[in-house]
């Protein structure tokens, strides 16, 4: 039997300016708004066909420089996607088909000027083999000075690059990382969280309900938001909130109930399926 991940490392601390940025469901994240407004750079790993997080980020910080990395999508692929949906409009002009038929136009309008999408040799990896770029390559593109916000959703490759990320912790004001396969990679997950907590506080946690719960009760995929310790005055208190937080969180899959996490204290936590009891 696989050893479960250590949920005691995940108890968030109080952070009073959290806000949801991005899509109403999958693709949106809860982040510290003060950090969003003050950073010079947004680095985004993982884009697919949804850049609502990046668009919303720019609305809150008009001067931010955005570097997005995703080798799985390109202007050509997005154009083909839009044309396919445009061709289906005569069959039934649904709201979704209209939105998807305009996806390429949205892409071209957003990714210009200081907002970049690197899709050539930009698989985020721990080496430069094949179509890959390392954390060092990413930060080499930034000018000296200025805070960074990092968003990472790279489908399990996060475990390969977090060791390199530690070298740039002093530059990163906050970040949100989606951790995958926690039930299978519990030891790697625990080690990653322990390393990150040396420089960052956990300020929010949300379970992705597309992947369900492990036998231990912890979600198999977690979205975890971190804020650099240097941005806190003293030692923050542990949060007494129940998660998900009403008004902030939303289920990734709106057709399923969200996953509840109950952090009982700094040293004890567990996760359960939602009950039918009133909050």
DSSP strands (E only) in 100-259? 115-118, 123-124, 132-133, 148-152, 172-179, 200-207, 222-228, 242-243
Helices (H) and strands (E) in the chain, counts: 8, 14
Burial of residue 13, with CB atoms counted within 10 A of its CB: 0-12 exposed, 13-18 middle, 19 or more buried: middle
Q: What pLDDT does residue 254 have?
A: 96
CATH of domain 7-73+119-272: 3.40.50
CB atoms within 10 A of CB 110: 16
Tens digit of each residue's pLDDT (9 = 90 or more) over 188-218: 999 999 999 999 999 999 999 999 998 888 9
| φ/ψ (deg, to 5) at 132 | -135, 155
d(CA 253, CA 178): 15
SS3 category, 50: coil
Per-residue pLDDT of the chain (279 residues; tens, 9 = 90+): 578 899 999 999 999 899 999 999 999 999 999 999 999 999 999 999 999 999 999 999 999 999 999 999 999 999 999 999 998 888 877 888 888 999 999 999 999 999 999 987 689 999 998 889 999 999 999 999 999 999 999 999 999 999 999 999 999 999 999 999 999 999 999 999 999 999 999 999 999 999 999 888 899 999 999 999 999 999 999 999 999 999 999 999 999 999 999 764 333 433 444 433 332
- Parallel, antiparallel or unpaired: strands 41-45 and 148-152: parallel
């Amino acid at each position: 039997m696989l050893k479960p991940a250590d949920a005691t490392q995940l108890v968030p601390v109080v952070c009073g300016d959290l806000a949801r940025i991005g899509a109403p469901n999958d693709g949106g994240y809860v982040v510290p708004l003060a950090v969003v407004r003050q950073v010079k750079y947004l680095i985004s790993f993982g884009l697919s066909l949804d850049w609502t997080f990046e668009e919303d980020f720019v609305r809150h910080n008009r001067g931010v420089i955005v570097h997005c990395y995703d080798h799985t999508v390109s202007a050509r692929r997005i154009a083909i996607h839009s044309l396919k949906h445009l061709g289906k409009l005569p069959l039934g002009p649904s709201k979704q088909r209209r939105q998807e038929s305009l996806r390429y136009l949205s892409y071209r309008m957003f990714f210009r000027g200081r907002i970049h999408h690197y899709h050539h040799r930009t698989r985020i990896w721990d080496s430069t083999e094949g179509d890959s770029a390392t954390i060092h390559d990413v930060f080499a593109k930034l000018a000296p000075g200025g805070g960074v916000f990092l968003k990472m959703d790279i489908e399990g490759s996060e475990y390969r690059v977090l060791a390199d990320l530690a070298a740039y912790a002093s530059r990163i004001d906050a970040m949100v990382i989606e951790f995958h396969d926690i039930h299978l990679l519990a030891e790697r997950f625990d080690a990653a969280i322990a390393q990150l907590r040396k420089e960052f506080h956990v300020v929010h946690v949300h379970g992705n309900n597309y992947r369900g719960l492990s036998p231990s009760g912890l979600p198999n995929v977690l979205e975890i938001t971190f804020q650099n310790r240097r941005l806190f005055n003293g030692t923050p208190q542990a949060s007494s909130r129940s998660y998900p937080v009403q008004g902030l969180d939303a289920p990734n899959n709106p057709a399923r109930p969200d996953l509840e996490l109950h952090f009982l204290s700094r040293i004890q936590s567990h996760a359960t399926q939602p009950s039918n009891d009133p909050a």
